[in-house]
Chains A and B, each alone.
Chain A
Amino acid sequence: MRNHKDALLAIEGVYHSYLPGTPFERRSLDGVDLSVYEKETVGIIGPSGSGKTTLLFHCNGLLRPQRGTVRAFGIPIGEPGAELRDIRRRVGCVFQSPEDQVFERYVGDDIAFGPRNMGLAVETVRERVRGALATVGYPFSFKDRLTSRLSLGEKRRVAIAGVLAMDPRLLLLDEPTAGLDPEARRDLFEIIDRFKRRSGRAVLMVSHRMEEIAELSDRIYVLVRGRVVLQGTARGVFSRPDLLSENGLSLPAPAQTVRLLQERGIPVRSGACSVQEAADTIEELFRDRT
């Protein structure tokens, strides 16, 4: 059992309402517990409006817990004196909509925004921009493009580069693959993988694509109406198709395929979440036959 103290991010009993104390008050988080440890990718799934984005915003202090505690790298975010700039430097957040995140006129300026705020030297900032652009698969000359003329997918990559340029230790990703083509998506998985293999890093990711959550996450939280209704490994979470479909979620396609085969009386082993695993379990079947 991991010691709770070692968590890079520890969220305990967090409640949040939008527009508190007004007639428009709306409970968005209803007592959430969540933790992220080093080298982990943690996935959050949940129907629209279940509070996923709200929860992510609590992880770098964009929102402060109205009740409960949030600790990132040991710093309690709820405390009035918390050094939020330190936290935000270490917890990078890629927003759900890159339109909301990319605000400078030129790509280069936008990616440099974070490093400049960290007070880095001009040359270092330049290197950071070059490195971040290379990571998302663009040449250095891409820095001179106008952000307003980018396609959505391009903008998303720039947004990711802007966050990576700060070299955060915890990466928050809010539906990072929406609007990306399959190749860019694979590239992103590659980036995430490389990122979290370095020491002291971790990823917390929200997605509506069960397949990618199943494939990337070490642990998954299922958020429904501001509550964690299920958590565990991909295998554990996706062995509860009833609970998921009740809440408007589904199984990843490979798991669904296996389940359909089982319903038709074919004795496939359950538990496959990724395409690879599904292929393996089906192959097993044929191997047993022969």
Chain B
Amino acid sequence: MTARSEFEFSVKLSIGQFVPGSSLLHMLDPRVKIVVCVMLIVSAVLVGRIFAVTLLFVLVVSVLVGTGVGAGLAFRALRPVAPFLAVLAVIQMFAIPQLRENAVIVWEWRFLHMTDRSIVSGVLLIGRFAVIVMALHLFSVTTSTNQLIHGVEQLVRPLEKIGVPAHELAMVVHISLRFLPILLFETEKLMMAQASRGADFGKGRGVRRLRRLFPLFVPMFLISLRHAEAIAESMESRCYTGGRGRTSRLRPRLKRADYLAIGAFIAADGAILAANYLFSEAVWGSRALCIL
């Protein structure tokens, strides 16, 4: 049994990070992936049936597996949050009062009730969360920051007419995204420097642990400023003046595959949503169908 180093944040950071590759998803236009990702998230929130959320889950997993990306990474991302999710689901099953109306009590003990509806909502919570995490993964693992930025910029560009600064917006997103890992890496290095001269980050929980992080704040602030200055300088030295008249080396164009992909996805997603609404108690009058 060996202990883990207390500084390797980068391992955690690697969750959801872009992994270069040549899968079908990597090839797709970033805009398509943004739309697919957003649609999946919205659908996950909209659906209210267990079978529908299961189908959504199957859809995401089959997209991940079918395009050769693999779902392993996404499952790994779910693992650290699984305990919280389980707790939330249990709370949902017992403690949400409005779920008791018009519901069949399945199990009760003193003030605790579990109804068929509360079980459904607990399961739905887990299902929705899983779908959302997988959807974000599907996007972030296969899209480089550069592509993401171009995608955002092009999606927002139509709004330029009403005064939305598309390029500047994209640049802000870009720099913040780029800064995150840099700052985390710098924190890691600073903690190592302090620890090797006797600072203690090891044991303790909660407030004590937080207080130990205190000596990091001022140096981290200075380091951030230094990075910001460096970025500003290098933008100046490359004559950056903002988006006007700027052309781009990467000019993603929607290809046939993009249209096919988005079409197929909308069909599948739409079918699931439709099924979700069609198989309702109102239509079929059956409680069992409604529950599932």
Q: Which residues of A contact B (CB under 8 A)?
A: 18-24, 57, 60-67, 78-80, 82, 84-85, 88-89, 92-93, 95, 100-101, 103-105, 113-114, 117-118, 148, 162-163, 166
Asked if A85 and B196 sit within 8 Å, CB to CB, the answer is no
Asked if B198 and A117 sit within 8 Å, CB to CB, the answer is yes
Q: Which of A88, A148, A162 has the most CB of B within 10 A?
A: A88
Asked if B197 and A162 sit within 8 Å, CB to CB, the answer is yes
* Residue in B3, B7, B73, B190 whose CB lies within 8 Å of A62: B7
14 examples of A-B residue contacts, CB within 8 angstroms = A21-B76, A23-B73, A24-B19, A62-B192, A62-B195, A64-B2, A78-B3, A79-B1, A85-B202, A92-B197, A93-B196, A101-B193, A103-B194, A117-B199
Interchain CA distance A117-B198 in the complex, whole Å: 5
Contacts of B5 on A, CB cut-off 8 Å?
61-64
Binary per-residue interface labels of chain B (90-109) against chain A in the complex, 1 for a CB within 8 Å, 0 otherwise? 00000000000000000000
Asked if B193 and A88 sit within 8 Å, CB to CB, the answer is no
Give chain A's interface secondary structure class.
Answer: loop
Contacts A88-B198, A101-B193 given; indicate if A22 touches B11 (C-beta within 8 A): yes
Interchain CA distance A63-B222 in the complex, whole Å: 26
Least Cβ–Cβ distance between A65 and chain B, in angstroms:
6
Interchain CA distance A21-B79 in the complex, whole Å: 13
Contacts of B62 on A, CB cut-off 8 Å?
none
Contacts of A20 on B, CB cut-off 8 Å?
11
Q: Which residues, 189 to 225 on B, are CB-close (under 8 Å) to A? A: 189-190, 192-200, 202, 218-219, 222
Residue B10 lies at the interface, judged by CB distance under 8 Å to chain A: yes
Binary per-residue interface labels of chain B (54-80) against chain A in the complex, 1 for a CB within 8 Å, 0 otherwise? 000000000000000000010010000
A82's closest neighbor in chain B, by CB?
A: B3
Contacts A64-B2, A79-B2 given; indicate if A103 touches B14 (C-beta within 8 A): no
Contacts of A89 on B, CB cut-off 8 Å?
198
Asked if B11 and A114 sit within 8 Å, CB to CB, the answer is no
Contacts of B192 on A, CB cut-off 8 Å?
57, 62, 100
A95's closest neighbor in chain B, by CB?
A: B193
